[in-house]
Amino acid sequence: MTQEESADIVVVGTGVVGCLIAEQLLDAGHSVLMLEAGPRVERWQIVEKYRNLPPITTTNLDAAYPPTRWAPFLDSTSPLTAVDYLQLEGPNARAYRQDYVRYAGGSTWHWAGICWRLTPEDMRLKSLYGVGRDWAFDYATLEPYYTRVEQALGVCGPSEPELQWPPIRSKPYPMGRLPFGPGEQKFTDAAARLGLKNLPAAQARNSGVSYDGRPPCCGNNSCIPICPIGAKYDAASSLPRIEAKGGKILVNAVVYRVETGAANQVQAVHYFDPDKQSHRVTGKLFVIACNGIETPKLLLMSADTRNPRGVANSSDQVGRNMMDQPKLVAELTLAEPAWTGVGPVQGSSIMQTSQGDFRSEHAGALFRFNNMARSRLGAIQALKTGLVGKALDAEIRRLSACTAELTIEHELLPDPNNRLTLSDKKDALGIPKPNIYYDVGAYIRKSAEIYSTPLVKQLAHEMGATDVKVTTEFTNSDHIMGGLIMGTDPADSVVDVDCRAHDHPNLFLPGGGAMTTAGCGNSTLTMAALALKAADAMVAQLTHA
């Protein structure tokens, strides 16, 4: 045991959730210590790594972020490495291969930057449609936090209410919308002919102007896996500011135990350094924000005599209700060029298809045009044909311009059987790997069969597709939710309305894990809104202490 560290607030995890909380608590005059399992790197290092990847690897989102020995995560480099860390089982095991990185700054390094809000209906599934759960509070309660997050991250979006999702807002977006490239416009026009509206996405990408010391987006089209200029918000950009405000950040510090004491208060966390030396960190309040997989894992690992099922787990709900938006993909061949890849990698979605009375019967879905440039894919395919000279160039141009991808993301219901437990397999530090059982369920399978797949085919044909192939195996959307589910009843939920553990008055578990329902949109804005709500509660708790 070496020298102990201590702070008013100890934050485990340096992603968007941890960073928003750290900054707010520092602004309120409290000391903050952040612990990050992975390394800290500079933007240019990731850009350089990405540019040096062979083309076949560049579709692996995490290839520019090799895991360290002590902070492993899913590594898509090969089929073998892809199954090494996350232990997945169940009918849809493949669909929970979640891409996240354990680096300082977390997975916002390689997020798309999309910032959809939930709708009021998304938060009342049980009472409106008789499925899933209801949130413990309504949209009106969450709305001010959404607005604050949009200001904090720098979210751009349309000023016209008819293009906003949902058009229930107390303040405008801090920046106007980004333009569409040819592909997203073509998709928008096709949707309109079917009576559907493809909306410009709210996105944490600077639109036309600098914001928060970061430059405007210049359409570099590598948002996933890295914005080379920092026009897209990522939590890494707030780390220097946190340090300037007096926050301390320890990297390569793998928290492996949450220690409870009298009255079941959390009194310390313990971490291993890369050499497996153990260190103890004490504090007044503790925030575990390591994402929806690593946080439940840590709580389950921390079982003690007071908490035999794991910390914060008297309800037995820690690690249950694991959610994501199961994805299907349509590959299109088009007669006319769509020119995928002009602008950011994602910039719009059809959202209205996520709503409706059909939700009592099957899942809703969002539909979007994937705007990740296809020049490399086009070249790889064209070279396989054996063409040379002018014919080769023409085929590369045709395949890059006249192929496209549409993505469907479905709303998954919270199901306690979709469960994270501790595997008996261990990582290099001897820490159990996460084991997750996953079944997307009949609610989504029915949607895919009678709703989403037929509709994506209609959209494809309306775009002028001469060939459409829709996948049938669900895949991951990397929106990890549910494993620390929020509710008012400590018997069937893990955290209260402020993401405070029901079992431990000084332990906060904010982020995607706390989300009660998933909706169809990307989860980050809601995760971040819950972070700010938790931060308010922490400031109040320390003030009254």
Partner 1 sequence: MALSRLLIPHSLDPEIGRRIAVDLKADRAPVSDHIDALLKLAHDRHATVVEDFFPFASDEAKAAALRIISAWYLGVVDDAPGAKIVAYELALMFKPTSDVMTIPTYSISRPNGWGAAAAPLSAMPTF
* Binding of partner 1 by 465 (CB under 8 A): no
Contacting partner 1 within 198-217 (CB under 8 A): 206-209, 215-217
* Binding of partner 1 by 375 (CB under 8 A): yes
Q: Please state, in angstroms and rounded to a whole number, the distance separating the CA atoms of residues 494 and 481.
A: 13
Residue 332, classed as helix, strand or coil, is strand
Minimum distance between the CB of residue 394 and partner 1, rounded to whole angstroms?
7
Stretch that binds partner 1, among 139-147, 194-202, 397-405, 442-450 (CB under 8 A): 397-405
CA nearest neighbour of 106 among 41, 49, 155, 156: 41
Q: Please state, in angstroms and rounded to a whole number, the distance separating the CA atoms of residues 271 and 33.
A: 13
Q: Please state, in angstroms and rounded to a whole number, the distance separating the CA atoms of residues 91 and 440.
A: 8
Neighbours of 29 (CB within 10 A): 11
Choose between 220 and 423: whose C-beta lies nearer to partner 1.
Answer: 220
What would the DSSP string read from start to end of 214-280?
A: BPPP---S-TTT--TTS-B--GGGGHHHHHHTT-EEE-S-EEEEEEE-GGG-EEEEEEE-TT--EEE
Backbone angles phi, psi at 37, to 5 degrees: -65, -35
Stretch that binds partner 1, among 173-181, 310-318, 348-356, 457-465 (CB under 8 A): 173-181
* Binding of partner 1 by 242 (CB under 8 A): no
* Binding of partner 1 by 160 (CB under 8 A): no
Residues 320, 321, 325, 328: is their CA dihedral positive or negative?
A: positive
* Binding of partner 1 by 66 (CB under 8 A): no
User: How are the residues of the chain apportioned to helix, strand and coil, as percentages rounded to the nearest 5?
Assistant: 30, 20, 50
**How many residues bind partner 1, per CB under 8 A?**
63
* Binding of partner 1 by 192 (CB under 8 A): no
Stretch that binds partner 1, among 146-154, 180-188, 254-262, 274-282 (CB under 8 A): 180-188
Minimum distance between the CB of residue 104 and partner 1, rounded to whole angstroms?
21
Minimum distance between the CB of residue 374 and partner 1, rounded to whole angstroms?
8
461: enclosing H helix or E strand? helix 453-462
* Binding of partner 1 by 57 (CB under 8 A): yes
Minimum distance between the CB of residue 232 and partner 1, rounded to whole angstroms?
12
Choose between 53 and 128: whose C-beta lies nearer to partner 1.
Answer: 53
Stretch that binds partner 1, among 26-34, 218-226, 252-260, 360-368 (CB under 8 A): 218-226
CA nearest neighbour of 170 among 186, 183, 184, 151: 151
CA 488 to chain CA centroid, Å, is 25
Helix axes 139-153 and 524-544, enclosed angle (nearest 10): 100
CA nearest neighbour of 271 among 67, 42, 37: 37
Q: Which of 185, 352, 355, 471 binds partner 1 (CB under 8 A)?
A: 185
Establish whether 362 is a catalytic residue. Answer: no
Q: Which of 6, 29, 45, 55 binds partner 1 (CB under 8 A)?
A: 55
Minimum distance between the CB of residue 307 and partner 1, rounded to whole angstroms?
42
Binding-residue pattern over the window 497 to 526 for partner 1, x denoting contact by CB under 8 A: ------------------------------
Q: Which of 181, 434, 487, 519 binds partner 1 (CB under 8 A)?
A: 181
CA 91 to chain CA centroid, Å, is 23
Stretch that binds partner 1, among 54-62, 84-92, 102-110, 119-127 (CB under 8 A): 54-62
Q: Please state, in angstroms and rounded to a whole number, the distance separating the CA atoms of residues 281 and 4.
A: 6
* Binding of partner 1 by 221 (CB under 8 A): yes
* Binding of partner 1 by 403 (CB under 8 A): no
Angle at 135 between CA 129 and CA 140, to 5 degrees: 100
Q: Are 311 and 504 in contact (CB under 8 A)?
A: yes
CA nearest neighbour of 96 among 473, 509, 425, 492: 473
* Binding of partner 1 by 428 (CB under 8 A): no
Structure tokens at 167: 């058009």
* Binding of partner 1 by 54 (CB under 8 A): yes
* Binding of partner 1 by 80 (CB under 8 A): no
327: enclosing H helix or E strand? strand 327-334
Minimum distance between the CB of residue 353 and partner 1, rounded to whole angstroms?
23
Minimum distance between the CB of residue 378 and partner 1, rounded to whole angstroms?
7
Q: Are 440 and 92 in contact (CB under 8 A)?
A: yes
User: Which entry of 110, 362, 479, 502 is annotated as an active-site residue?
Assistant: 479
Neighbours of 305 (CB within 10 A): 6
* Binding of partner 1 by 383 (CB under 8 A): yes
What would the DSSP string read from start to end of 513-527?
A: GG-S---SS-SHHHH
Minimum distance between the CB of residue 214 and partner 1, rounded to whole angstroms?
12
Choose between 214 and 500: whose C-beta lies nearer to partner 1.
Answer: 214
What would the DSSP string read from start to end of 383-411?
A: HHTT--HHHHHHHHHHHHHSEEEEEEEEP
Q: Please state, in angstroms and rounded to a whole number, the distance separating the CA atoms of residues 388 and 383.
A: 8
Binding-residue pattern over the window 322 to 351 for partner 1, x denoting contact by CB under 8 A: --------------xxxx-xxx--------
Stretch that binds partner 1, among 145-153, 183-191, 479-487, 511-519 (CB under 8 A): 183-191
Bin 468: left if φ > 0, else alpha if -120 < ψ < 50, else beta: beta
* Binding of partner 1 by 230 (CB under 8 A): no
Minimum distance between the CB of residue 325 and partner 1, rounded to whole angstroms?
25
Q: Which of 153, 242, 351, 402 binds partner 1 (CB under 8 A)?
A: 402
Minimum distance between the CB of residue 524 and partner 1, rounded to whole angstroms?
22
Q: Where on the chain is the footprint of partner 1 (CB under 8 A)?
A: 47, 50-58, 63, 77-78, 178-182, 184-186, 206-209, 215-222, 226, 228, 336-339, 341-343, 373, 375-376, 378-380, 383, 386, 388-394, 396-398, 400-402
Q: Catalogue the active-site residues.
A: 479
